[in-house]
Amino acid sequence: MPLNNVTTLVAEDSAAHTGATAQEQLILDEAFARRDGILQHLEAELATPAQDAVEQARMRMLVRRRAELQHAEQGLIFGRIDALDATVRHLGRVGIPSPSDNGDPLVIDWRAPAARAFYTATPVDPQGQARRRHIRTQGRTVISFEDEPLDGSRASELVGEGALLAALGERRTGQMSTAAATLQREQDDVVRADSRGPLVVQGGPGTGKTVVALHRVAYLLFTYPKLAAQGVLVIGPSPRFLDYIGQVLPALGETAIVSATCDTLVPGVGVERLEQRELAEIKGRALWQQGLARYCASRLPQPAGVELLWEGERYTIDETQTARTIASATSGRSYHGARAVFIQQVQDQLTDAVVARSEATMAQVEDGLEDLLRDFDAVFTHTDNRAASSGATGTDVDGMLTEEDIELLREKIADDDGVNATLQRWWPTLDTTRELRRLLDDEALLEQWVPELTDAERGLIAGEPRTWASSDLPLYDALADLLGDAIPNNGQGEFMSDRASAQRDWVYGHVVIDEAQELSEMQWQMVMRRCPSRSITAVGDIDQAEAPHRHTTWQEAVSAAFGDRWTEAQLSICYRTPMEVMALTGAVLRNAGSQNEPPRAVRAAGIEPWELSVTEGELAAEAARAVEQLSARWKGGMVGVIAPMERLTALREALPGTPVLSASDAKGLEWDATLLIDAPSIAAAPRGWNGLYVALTRCTQELGQLLVR
């Protein structure tokens, strides 16, 4: 082709690209204008106070919509899909309706069914689509776009490869960003999976487990709006991790979220000390659930006669009646729930007894005075029906108690200090803290109620300090649930998240667990209590497990909680960690005893991992120098340091302002560059090869190691 023809084609392509960019800018401008108009309308509506419960519910919906629109300043439009029938749809973070009632939406919410083809259409299965376009914006400006034909003319296993790789190459800021624009097909399958029943998502490092889990929350809240009333619980491995992901869901417009670690799930109780791994493993076993249930049942009162004093007279509820009342009260209820029912029934029985005795006494009096009353009747015949005409009722007329009299008596008995003191002695309220410490401190009680433990294990537990360690909290939660609240806590706060986080027995609509491989069997029980429907999404990598429990497969990890009623999904592609680093992980996994292959990396950084051997005396200075060099190379990004536990204090002093973490604490985080220090010592720790697998795979660009000789 003549050179002048080539130049003409390039110019035409450039002009076409410029024209397409201008067209997308017009559409973005229109979407922002419509969005701003809707926000103004919402502000005006929200300025009017709600008058009733219906209006309050409507106002909550408007507040939610306002939050969605406010957070959509970035990424209002990020994609477009052109159908074979020439239909064009734009996708974005939230839906923007047409200004006209009958018009097509200006922007389709990425969570809507109509948007799914954007994530799942391929040249092999185009799903009626001709082209997918990824649009990059900065605020309200279109800066570029990438077209992806779906006719097979260009093959790629990645959806929007250019946009994805550009996002992966961006500097890390210490906050996870949204990925609605770059979700891949296997990720989208998980996001939109059926919410009924537990879903366990296995994914190696860099496969986007956390992104998928959080976008699944956003999708579920969009698809099932009633979930917002119950809320979604997001459980992460550490407070640092929760800070890292903290902006994702608000940026997607979601506020009906409670974030916690297993250590912060129980209001008012927290971890006070570290503990030995051996003890943590013992107290994490599922056997404690039945052991605590047996112990709690032992604290119930045994059937016996109950003697109560009312206005100087004694009333006895006999043993047979008490036995029936206990059996009725305890059926399916917690200790304090059963106690409340029992006390109410006893108060009712006492009320009935007082009424019966009063009426029997009055009957005796009436029998003895019959003759006298006849004489009075003869004298007062001229004042017939005087009582009725005076308005007197109930005991004023015939000694019989009216319904109102009986109800007033019932209330007085319920409020009587003497009656309540007797019932408290007979069926006392119990304190969870005191009862759990009583059990754990006493080897004889442990042998009686948790007989599955060995003598040595009971000795270890009874010898612990009686402050709370992490593995105590699931036991506390289980016992608190079995005992029930003596005084119900209904949770206070303007927002659902405030009420839910303050209430131990709040039931959530869905639970998402990140790094789920770390949960013990008793921690899984904590999760189940908060979501009895089992609408649970658990994401993790069984090969990254470092917790003291002995699980090496998902079946072992979740069978105590779910049995066989759970579904597994796989994420197989590593998007974050470059090929050069992932090449190191195969041997590490084999040393960890894993039979799995590491996920397949799809991008190269062009930088080989490097090592530097240093002496003990040189370590601090060389670490500071390496961090300085990495920070300069990845300016605007993040550098993280991972080291053995015993080196953390000294390294933090030498590297102020730099995150210096153990492998466990680094789980779920990512940096542009990672400096790994003394890898052999990490590998030598319990489950150390799993920890080293975590440490190697935190970087998006460069990995350096300092080896101590």
In this prediction, residue 489 carries a pLDDT of: 64
Output the CA angle 122-125-130, nearest 5 degrees. Answer: 65
197 annotated to bind ligand: no
* Domain shared by 355 and 437, yes or no: no
The answer to whether 46 and 64 are in contact (CB under 8 A) is no
658 occurs within a structural domain: yes
In this prediction, residue 257 carries a pLDDT of: 83
Question: 232 forms bridges with which residues in the sheet?
Answer: 257, 510
In this prediction, residue 459 carries a pLDDT of: 96
In this prediction, residue 382 carries a pLDDT of: 47
* Domain shared by 627 and 677, yes or no: yes
Q: Structure tokens of 88?
A: 């064009």
Q: Structure tokens of 107?
A: 């922007």
- From 646, 645, 647, select the one nearest 663 (Cα to Cα): 645
The answer to whether 518 and 540 are in contact (CB under 8 A) is yes
Question: For the chain, what is the domain count?
Answer: 4
Question: For residue 364, which amino acid is it?
Answer: Q
* Domain shared by 36 and 109, yes or no: yes
Return all residues near 456 (Cβ < 8 A) that are at least 6 apart: none
pLDDT, tens digit, for every residue of 155-167? 455 554 444 445 5
In this prediction, residue 10 carries a pLDDT of: 42
* Domain shared by 36 and 151, yes or no: yes
User: What integer is the mean pLDDT of 680-699?
Assistant: 95
* Domain shared by 695 and 641, yes or no: yes
160 annotated to bind ligand: no
Is the pLDDT confidence value at 30 over 90? yes
206 occurs within a structural domain: no
What's the pLDDT band for 6 if we cut at 50, 70, 90?
Answer: very low
Highest mean pLDDT among 164-168, 280-284, 396-400: 280-284
The answer to whether 603 and 578 are in contact (CB under 8 A) is yes
Q: Structure tokens of 665?
A: 């604490």
φ, ψ of residue 615 to 5 degrees: the values are: -85, 170
Return all residues near 647 (Cβ < 8 A) that are at least 6 apart: 619, 677, 678, 681
Question: What is the domain extent for residue 61?
Answer: 16-159
pLDDT, tens digit, for every residue of 126-141? 889 999 898 988 889 9
In this prediction, residue 610 carries a pLDDT of: 97
Q: Structure tokens of 395?
A: 């005991």
204 annotated to bind ligand: yes
Q: How far apart are CA 76 and CA 87, in angstroms?
A: 20
Q: Structure tokens of 588?
A: 């590490």
The answer to whether 620 and 651 are in contact (CB under 8 A) is yes
User: What integer is the mean pLDDT of 679-708?
Assistant: 96
Q: Structure tokens of 545?
A: 């497990």
In this prediction, residue 487 carries a pLDDT of: 72
Which of 568, 598, 629 is at the close of a domain? 568
The CA-atom distances, in angstroms, between 155 and each of 82, 219, 576, 600, 604 are 18, 29, 21, 18, 19
pLDDT, tens digit, for every residue of 443-486? 999 999 999 999 999 999 999 998 999 999 999 999 999 999 87
Return all residues near 177 (Cβ < 8 A) that are at least 6 apart: 167, 247, 248, 251
Q: Which residue has the tokens 């992490």?
A: 470
More confident site: 490 or 446 = 446
* Domain shared by 21 and 153, yes or no: yes
What's the pLDDT band for 253 if we cut at 50, 70, 90?
Answer: low
Helices (H), 131-226: 161-169, 185-191, 209-223
In this prediction, residue 239 carries a pLDDT of: 85
More confident site: 364 or 386 = 364
In this prediction, residue 383 carries a pLDDT of: 46
208 annotated to bind ligand: yes
207 annotated to bind ligand: yes
In this prediction, residue 173 carries a pLDDT of: 47
Q: Which residue has the tokens 């929760």?
A: 242
Which of 519, 542, 568 is at the close of a domain? 568
The answer to whether 196 and 535 are in contact (CB under 8 A) is yes
pLDDT, tens digit, for every residue of 602-626? 889 999 999 999 999 999 999 999 9
Residue 111's CB is within 10 A of a number of other CB atoms, namely 24
Is the pLDDT confidence value at 331 over 60? yes
Return all residues near 257 (Cβ < 8 A) that are at least 6 apart: 217, 231, 232, 233, 234, 249, 497
209 annotated to bind ligand: yes
pLDDT, tens digit, for every residue of 616-668? 999 999 999 999 999 999 999 999 999 999 999 999 999 999 999 999 999 88
* Domain shared by 440 and 533, yes or no: yes
User: What integer is the mean pLDDT of 505-513?
Assistant: 93
Give the side-chain half-sphere CA count within 13 A for 606.
1
- From 462, 106, 450, 173, select the one nearest 296 (Cα to Cα): 450
6 occurs within a structural domain: no
397 occurs within a structural domain: no
* Domain shared by 519 and 476, yes or no: yes
- From 626, 599, 615, 596, select the one nearest 703 (Cα to Cα): 626
pLDDT, tens digit, for every residue of 163-213? 444 554 555 444 444 455 567 778 888 888 988 899 999 998 988 888 888
In this prediction, residue 387 carries a pLDDT of: 41
Q: How far apart are CA 539 and CA 536, in angstroms?
A: 10
* Domain shared by 137 and 245, yes or no: no
The answer to whether 254 and 246 are in contact (CB under 8 A) is no
User: What integer is the mean pLDDT of 315-343?
Assistant: 93
Highest mean pLDDT among 24-38, 70-84, 110-124: 24-38
CATH code of the domain in which 644 resides: 3.40.50.300
Return all residues near 703 (Cβ < 8 A) that are at least 6 apart: 580, 581, 584, 609, 610, 673, 674, 676, 696
* Domain shared by 585 and 658, yes or no: yes
Q: How far apart are CA 151 and CA 125, in angstroms?
A: 9
378 occurs within a structural domain: no
Q: How far apart are CA 539 and CA 514, in angstroms?
A: 5
Q: How far apart are CA 545 and CA 442, in angstroms?
A: 32
392 occurs within a structural domain: no
394 annotated to bind ligand: no
* Domain shared by 625 and 539, yes or no: no
512 occurs within a structural domain: yes
Q: How far apart are CA 144 and CA 509, in angstroms?
A: 39
* Domain shared by 419 and 500, yes or no: no
Across 193-282, the runs of DSSP E, i.e. the strands, are 199-203, 232-235, 257-260
- From 119, 42, 113, select the one nearest 78 (Cα to Cα): 119
Q: Structure tokens of 20?
A: 């397409």
To the nearest whole number, what is the mean pLDDT of the chain?
86
The answer to whether 287 and 524 are in contact (CB under 8 A) is no
691 annotated to bind ligand: no
Is the pLDDT confidence value at 364 over 80? no
167 occurs within a structural domain: no
Q: How far apart are CA 242 and CA 668, in angstroms?
A: 10
Which of 568, 588, 606 is at the close of a domain? 568
pLDDT, tens digit, for every residue of 528-582? 999 999 999 999 999 988 889 888 899 999 999 999 999 999 998 888 899 999 9
In this prediction, residue 245 carries a pLDDT of: 72
In this prediction, residue 249 carries a pLDDT of: 66
In this prediction, residue 596 carries a pLDDT of: 83
The answer to whether 128 and 141 are in contact (CB under 8 A) is no
Across 299-348, the runs of DSSP E, i.e. the strands, are 306-310, 313-317
